[in-house]
Structure formats: structure tokens, C-alpha cells
Structure 1
Amino acid sequence: MNDITLLTRDGVSLDVACPPGETVLAAAEAAGLFLPSMCHEGSCGLCRAEIASGDHDAGGQPGETITRDVLLCQCRPTSDMTVALPYAESAILRHRAPTREAVIERIAPAGASAVSLALRLRPDAELGQAADFVPGQYMEVAIPGTDIRRAYSLANLPNWDGRVEFLIRLVPGGAFSTWLGTEAKPGDALSLRGPLGRFVLDDTSPRPRCLVGGGCGLAPLLSMLRHLAEFQDMQETHLIFGANREAELFATDEIAALAAQLPCLTVTTAIWHPEGDWSGFTGTSAEALDSWLSNAATPPDIYVCGPPKLVEAVVTTARWHGVPEAQILAEQVQLR
């Protein structure tokens, strides 16, 4: 039996016993600690963490006793180990996320390459019908009749009516995209697990915020902005919404309406490859952030969601401008 110490981002230490041949993720779940994860197969990347000390076996390759990144669903300790988790203790559930049944109410285009998927949760004996989550979180959606699951951020607000809304990029050949494009229709039932995720606003921070989204990475940011508008938040907030082409933009009217409700909200729309008479910012979301940070009086809290390359570029830009790591929050969910 190996002793595993899990160190959270906010300094909490949690001890877990790991039997020989068991993964860190499975050992944590056996101890009642449900770390952020999804596929349990090493493909989604949500359980990524850093080994501070100890040896492990990952896919047959022994680990060296140095600081390194691992996927906890694949990491099998061969000694006592200390794992540095990239999130606070509050992101660790003490129970399994609930599974709910839902019915498709609407499928509508969202720009040239995405759809808006609106569902209604069915009443649950314990949970009722309410859609209870924190703006910024996501849910896993299962394709009917399969074991295929995808994670999508919620774009709407929590509500008592059981309404949930996702913005989903249509990827050619993607499992969920193919099902949405060829089979899905209103009235079809889906299975959802969640809410999940630690990508939520820090309501206690006095610093300005910058929300950066690329494509359907706008979904959790919309949920956050709707939350801020609901409470008439007066904190300085800047939204950067990026797309490859103008035709891929969506929710522009709603963003304008939110800006009208929130006097302290400013918006930059960035188009990487404009095709017409584009008068807005030309470039990527990361380049728009670079321009905005160059004029920022103080390092803001940065929230970014989108494709992995976009997230990486935004995080690199923020670091270059001296934004502390603790003020950079990134979420990556599967978009297929």
C-alpha cells in the first residue's frame, strides 16, 4: 500500500491509500474524493496534475522522482507520492456527480459552424427538476445507446425549470457532431452527468476581470455574464470573443444587450481572418488580450475557455504580461 498526499492549490493536504497497481484517481474515488475527471481513459486531460515527489508507472514506463505532469487516471504509484493538484479543495467533490435524464427542446444554428442545444431536465426523485449549477461549470452528455460522452459548458443560468443550454461546435467526423447533424431531434432523450468543473468566478476578488473565449468557449463566459447582469455587478469586466471568420460569430445581439445592462462591461470581438469590411479587431483572442493588457493598470483575473491552442496562447500571453498564476483560470472541455 502506497501513501498518496494530494496538495490542493489553496494549500489543503489530503491523504489517500493506494493499493499496488491502482491509479491515483481510482484510489481517491475509493476514499470518497472525486477529483475533476471525465473519460478515465487518458484522453480528455481533465485529471492532469503534477507529481511533486515519488515514483509511478504510467503505461508501463516507470516515472522518475522529479516534478512532472501526469494524468491521474493513468498514474499508478510504485512508492509513496505527493501530487500537486492545479485547483482548490472546493473543486473536489465528496460524492459522485448526479446523472440526470433530459429531453431535447431545440437545436438551432449558432454561427456557421456550431449549434445551440437546449434541453429540459426530467424531474428527479431527489433533485426535483431544477438545473442547479454555478455559472462556468459543465456537464457530460452521453450519446443515446452508446458509451460515448462529451463535456460541454453550460451557457444559461441556474433555474427552477430544468432548462440547460449548450453551444456545440460541429466538428466533421466528431462522434457527437455526427449524431447532432444526422439523428438528433426535439423529443429525443439524453443522459447528463454533472454539474462538474472548477471554472467559476471568484466573487471575492476585487480585481478587474477579463473573460476570453474562442468559438464555443464563449458558452461558460455567457453564463458568467448573465449571472453578473442578474446581480447588476459593478466590477470592471472585459470580454474578448474570438472567431476565425465573421460568419462564425454568434450571440452578438445578446452580448450587446449584456453590455447595455452592465455599465462596467467592455467588449472586444476579434476575427483572425476577416473576409469582408471588418472594422473590429483583426487577430486572435490572444493578440486581443495582449493589446488590452498593454493598457491595463493592474493585472486582472483572467478566465479563458476554448480550443487547447487558444487556451495555451492566452495563458502564455497573460504570463508574459506578469499576471500571477493564481489569477489565470482556464477551462478546456471537449468540443466534438
Structure 2
Amino acid sequence: MTHFGSNTLHVSLVALPDAVISTLAGILDVMNGAALMGLGDAKAQPPFQIDIVGERAGPLPLASGVPIEVQKSIDDIESTDIVIVPSVLLASGGWQKGRYPRLVAWLQRMHARGAMLCSACSGVFLLAETGIFDGKDATVHFGYADAFTTLYPSVTVHPERVLVISGLREELVCSGASTTWHDMVLYLTARHAGATTAQAVARMFALQWHQDGLAPYIVFEGKSDHGDGEVLSAQQWLAQHFSVAKPVEEMIKRSKLAERTFKRRFTAATGIAPLEYTQRLRIEDAKRRLERTDASIDEISWRVGYEDPAFFRRLFKRTTGMAPGAYRKRFCIPEFARS
């Protein structure tokens, strides 16, 4: 049997109108898992006591319209051990700062009184309003990374990372895209209740750590809103012809620009050099072929423009963090799900 420690930590799980119910409810259930599933000594205190907190107690409709019961108002909480902001749904206009001044002030007070501040996915948008993350590292859903950087340029974000722990006391914890909240909850469980308890919870809920990071999930989309027509024309050509031999040389010829000028303008406009841009397009095409076809890795290497399969394998792993075969196993549609 797993034995809990003698001290139960108080967890404040923040409910706000933008919150995603699946993340909030999932965090609640998994952090309660050790107690609910009887994983520990029945006589021992559970590792966490979790309250759903918000600006006021009572029912609160979340982003999907489904209501959840806020158990405690933040006005009634003088201190807490861990605060978790679940993922929030960003509307078409993006995150609007300044809508939750009472929550932001409460988060600042809780941190000043020793609380850990944790976010799942896009929940870091709210935490960043406190200013506590300025000059520190964080992660956020890769689809929101640009928007986050625009709003909070003082925070260094790593969207490819599953979990980022920062702060002088390691009290600032962020998880990345979507279900990486699993990793955050397992980390908190291991940190405060022990590795054995975390492993038992992971087995009970069939959770897996995202040990390969999030790079395999990120789809490369080259920047195109840069305003350089010459570079945009080259990008459009390359999107259809990336597999040809020496595509960078061909782009330069088509542009009628000097080689140095073309490379400088391309890098300035897109943020990456032409050769790396070409490689990213080729790897994206290879990913789709691995996901959707039964073609051999050597054939896919040739199809996307690489005659040396060994070089292709090295480049693929360097770019995605996974070998091509492992990527196919992870992302291909299972046989039973194919029509």
C-alpha cells in the first residue's frame, strides 16, 4: 500500500468563465485519485484537499456553457498551498487583459504568502497578468504561443516543452498543450506525495508522461504576414516544390536577387533561414506520409527530397524528437479505427 505524508496540502482550483470544463474536472478527479481510489493507507491523511474557487461561490457557467459549482469565494481564502488555473478557451479576439482584477490581486497575495502558482495549457494567460512570471520561463499551448508573447513579452515561453518549473522556490509550474495537465498533476503528486503514489495514480487512470516533449505535435506553418512580396512568392513556390533537388538555389534563381540578399531577406521575413525552412516543409510532409500511408521510411525519405535515408532519419529525430518509426507508431490511425 502507498502511504501518504502527514500533511495534507490545500489546493485551490480556479474556476473562471473562460475555463475548459474537461481540464478543470480532470485535474480535480486525478488529484483526488489517491484518496478516491483507496490507493493509500485508509488511516492516513490524503495528500491534497481540493476546493474549486472563484470570484464568488455558487454555480458558474464555463466556456462550454456547462455550469460548475464554485465551492469557495476567493474572499474567504486567506492562504493556500497550491493554486491551479486550468486551461482557458481563447475567443477569436484572443485573451483580453484586465477582466479579472480581483483574481489577479488574489493570486499575487497567495503567492506572497507562499503558494505555488500552477497553470494548465492556456491558464498561464491569467497567471502572467500578476507579473510574477516576468523574467522567468513558462510554457503554453503551441497554438497560443505567438499571442502570449505579444501580450507578455517579458515571459520566455517554450511551447515545445511539456512542463516548465521556475521561480526561486520552484513554485511556478506550467504545463503545455492540452492534456499535458496529466504531467503537471503527476509531477505535483510525485513532489508532494512521493513517486510511488504518482505511479499508482498514473496506472489507475492509464496516464502516460509526455516524455518525448511536444515537438512531434507541432505542425510547421511558415510565417507569411511579413509583407515581403519577393519572399512570399518564394515561399509559395517552395510549398509545392520542396522535394526538388537544390530547392534553395532554385528559389534564388527565380527571385533574381543576389544570393546574400535573398537569404538575408528570407530569414528576416520568416524568422528562419531558407535551408531550415525547406527542411521543415519536408519533415511535415514526411510526418503526414508516416501517419497516413504504409510506405517504407526509405521511400518516404526519397519522396520528400532526401536520397540518404540515414540523414533523413537523423534530421527527422532532431526536428521532432522522435525516430520516424516511433512517430508512425504514435500517430498512425489504428487498424481497428480505419474505415
Report the TM-score when normalising by structure 2: 0.28
Between the two structures, name the one with larger relative contact order (CA 8 Å, sep ≥ 6). 1
Report which of the two has the higher share of strand: 1
Higher-Rg member (1/2): 2
Report the TM-score when normalising by structure 1: 0.29
